[in-house]
Amino acid sequence: MRKKNILLFFVLTFFSLSACAKTGEEIAKELEISASSKAIKQWERLFKKPERLVKKIPGVDKLTEKELEVFMEYLINHAADSDHPAAAGL
């Protein structure tokens, strides 16, 4: 019975933490960045140089490592030349 309680605790903790996490789109809206403003290669280059990233996107330095990863994935997946570019105003 104790093992079930421990397992239930970890499952509930995991789901509550993941439910609180921001999506890449939410982070982009907060930072007022459109994913389709750059091509995939441009986003990749920008994320390789943290000092330029902070200069180009004010506030990005306040993101956690996980948020930064989710944000980068969103920007690349919805870049101007991606299969699903972000549409302005949606």
In a domain, 64, yes or no: yes
In a domain, 31, yes or no: yes
In a domain, 2, yes or no: no
Mean per-residue pLDDT, 7-23: 59
Q: How many domains does the chain fold into?
A: 1
Domain range for 73 is 22-85
Reported confidence tier of residue 84, pLDDT bands at 50, 70, 90: confident
Note the Cα 50 to chain centre separation in Å. Answer: 15
In a domain, 77, yes or no: yes
Distance CA 56, CA 18 (A): 28
| Residues with Cβ within 8 Å of residue 81, at least 6 apart in sequence | 39, 40
For tokens 């944000």, the residue is 71
In a domain, 5, yes or no: no
In a domain, 74, yes or no: yes
Mean per-residue pLDDT, 27-44: 94
In a domain, 10, yes or no: no
Q: What is the mean pLDDT of the chain?
A: 83
